[in-house]
Structure 1
Amino acid sequence: MLAAGATSIAALDVAVATCRACPRLVAWREHVALEARRASFRHETYWGRAVPGLGPDDARVLVVGLAPAAHGANRTGRMFTGDRSGDVLFAALHRAGFASQPTSVHAGDGLTLTDLRITAPVHCAPPDNAPTPQERANCSPYLARELELLAPTVRVAMVLGGFGWVALLRTLTELGWTVPRPRPKFGHGATTTVTHPDGRSLTLVGSYHVSQQNTFTGRLTPAMLDEVLTQVRRLAGLPVGSPAALADADDPR
């Protein structure tokens, strides 16, 4: 498996981008890239491959989503970039001091993340946003290896939606982490802490997914997302405040 041989986050990202383990997902992502471009993107060359995680290799916070969007990350090659869900997420990450800018349009737009990395249990765009259990299982080693490589620094996982919550808990269990019983249920603002035999702990914080289904209906509002991100910063031992105040706090002068 490509994931097992990755000795760094950079190597893992390369392994993800070259993965062809799921025939249905490979066929769909390439079909979208070559034949099903929306009219507004017809002049763009789609990424059309599995989408690696985004963010530094010393992140304290790991955001776990679901899977790339067909005309978002599958087009741009960057997690949550180029679609309405990403518009909501990156604006909130900027307000919380994790992102250098409030928008994420394409891979060369200058965006950087600080103290936070974004990943997903499934790295290819699935038809109808619905990966199969086998596809999730095929992709699970990437999430497992990512957690292992981030082990020295990661302390909080912000999980967007119930699919990511279940997938992350399953992967943590497979890695030998102790998960509370009964298994914690997903909910917006729900928290649970899992422990590793070596003494490490990881706190999971749930948030409704930033999908249009949630943001357009008001199920998830910017204020609700801001509240969860403030909680995440506190749990990760990071300062809380406005982007300007956080920038001043990081300035050594």
Structure 2
Amino acid sequence: MVRHACVVPESIAALDAAILDCRACPRLVTWREKVAVDKRAAFREHEYWGRPVPGFGPPDAALLIVGLAPAAHGGNRTGRMFTGDRSGDVLYAALHTVGLANQATAVHRDDGLVLRGTRITAPVHCAPPANKPTPAERENCRFWLDTELTLLAPTLRAIVVLGGFGWQALLPVLAATGWVVPKPRPRFGHGAHTELAPGAPGRAPLRLFGSYHVSQQNTFTGRLTPQMLQDVLDAAGRAAGIIGDGQGVPERQS
């Protein structure tokens, strides 16, 4: 794992700013910058972001959504997580439906989108070729996720993980940042739910929810429907105390 030379950020704003300068993974740096120059034909007139994409949402979020990595022509183009691509179309529409976003669309960084008590991040902050970061790249990026969870800890009450990659990346980080992860580790699945006990001062019990990723492969085939995603987000929003009475959990648990 790369040792990051920067001083550990002491706020979410400082973290987001520090991420922008990261060049720890040569393959990802080369790819994100190449895509920003070559561009997709439909976006030929757009100025691509072409840098690491920081998390998005308030610094005192009670709910964290963890994805995979920015899309080459989505976040890598617009500079915001799940913005400007079909995966984001599905995610933000669902967030709006359950009351966690002020609008159903995410087109660019300045489109007025605001999340309610919710923040979105990823284990890898640069767009990877074929949407597949390597384990080494995930480890290089772990410093940022460690720091983000530590900074969010005072208010964090629930996490939704989109996909198995994020689930596997997140569990060891949770264990290292103050929560007790059961052994054997909880298994990923859509609708999976478990509660992690606090293992350090300043931590509260944390409810962890699993959902299939909002990739086109899942949404176009019906493996993940809008209602399936809304059900998980609604349960997590209730568990975080953002929606309703904070008592909602999905029927299926693991």
Q: TM-score, normalised by structure 2?
A: 0.91
TM-superposed CA distance for 1:174, in Å, is 2.6
Equivalent residue runs for 1:1-253 within 5 Å: 1=4, 4-35=7-38, 37-195=39-197, 196-198=199-201, 200-240=204-244
Q: What is the root-mean-square deviation of aligned Cα atoms in Å?
A: 1.3
In structure 1, distance between residues paired with 2:104 and 2:16: 24
Question: Kindly tell me: are residues 3 and 97 of structure 1, through their superposed partners in 2, closer, same or farther at Cα, counting changes over 3 Å?
Answer: farther
In structure 1, distance between residues paired with 2:228 and 2:244: 16
In structure 1, distance between residues paired with 2:87 and 2:6: 27
Divergent runs of 4+, >6 A: none
Q: TM-score, normalised by structure 1?
A: 0.92
* Sequence identity percentage: 64
Deviates more, 1:43-52 or 1:223-232: 223-232
Contact 1:2/1:19 (<8 A) preserved: no
- Residue 207 of structure 2: SS of its match in structure 1? strand
Deviations 1:43-77 (A, max 9, x none): 01100000000000010000000000000000000
Question: Kindly tell me: are residues 236 and 176 of structure 1, through their superposed partners in 2, closer, same or farther at Cα, counting changes over 3 Å?
Answer: closer
Contact 1:96/1:226 (<8 A) preserved: yes
Alignment match, 1:245: none
Consecutive unaligned residues of structure 1, counting only runs of 5 or more, are 242-253
TM-superposed CA distance for 1:137, in Å, is 0.4
In structure 1, distance between residues paired with 2:242 and 2:6: 30
Question: Kindly tell me: are residues 158 and 23 of structure 1, through their superposed partners in 2, closer, same or farther at Cα, counting changes over 3 Å?
Answer: same
Alignment match, 2:252: none
Deviations 1:97-145 (A, max 9, x none): 1111100000111111110000000000001111111100010010010
Task: Work out the number of aligned pairs and report it.
Answer: 240
TM-superposed CA distance for 1:200, in Å, is 2.3
Consecutive unaligned residues of structure 2, counting only runs of 5 or more, are 246-254
